[in-house]
Structure 1
């Protein structure tokens, strides 16, 4: 009987340690990690994650690949981004991808990483949406900025691809094809990916 308080304390400690995530077959789902947070002076709002299909919540999954840990694999068909981990696992994120006519595939590398980046719409986008001309010199960082809280800039042998892995305030676009080719993640997810991915990391877009 004297062991009972110790058992209870251990159980409480374990419960606290697992707060914000659930387990499925030994793998973790971080559905509790989408709340309000302050980041670099900006207030990220809570994402109503219950409105986002469960498969698009950040989670550790089993992932069989020949790519080395630290590689980013983008599965545009299934709307998943995988950050390859050791031992046959990956951190999986739900993403939004390019709409019809703006899809792309290939290999690139993370050349630059930026926190709360400035967004400058390309001239082709301004041509399609003239109202964006006011941001020709760049839209300041902020919670309404289309690049969100973080951006990873993708380059290949030809230089800047023009594509980014970035956050978005439009959490409802995750799991859909709505962008002009860039890969969108929920802001809380791009912060997590930003902290994991290194400059020079290989990116494979399927």
Structure 2
């Protein structure tokens, strides 16, 4: 999952970004609305964490502008404002969820995963494709009920494929949502990691669609 965190409190932003990164998410930080506006207009994210009290305008105003321009990615508002009127303004502008400071990082993580899951049409936290199951709450993968050990990048790649199934996921989409912007991989790196996933999940678990990308099929039970 690729997250844009829009927060002007540097200490809070660094702490939350580190915690989310440790949980396997890709996190980029913007300290003001203008920077965030540029990023959501030029990059692809799975979800935005948006503070309301930004130095260059209300987060609600920036969010309303994104919605008017058709930028429909999920937005989680993060703020110290507890009044219902502030929450109502955020939801009216197009927010999808709301967390009030102070908060538990685990709660933010659960809400982010739920937003991504719903954005792909999944209501249940357990997403299953064939013999492969992704527990979005626990961040764990099983094959025929047996846990599968994955690296952070393997997990992000597989998570993207499972959330999108049965849609074909292009190499470009994988590059944008699975890998750090400073370490954008060439196609061979993606091929290598898909090959490793197939060895762990079963050879038929991931299908290569020539000229388009990859599609999750699920794997056969281990023998």
TM-score (norm 1): 0.24
Query: Quick check: which one's helix share is greater?
Result: 2
Query: Quick check: which one's strand share is greater?
Result: 1
TM-score (norm 2): 0.22
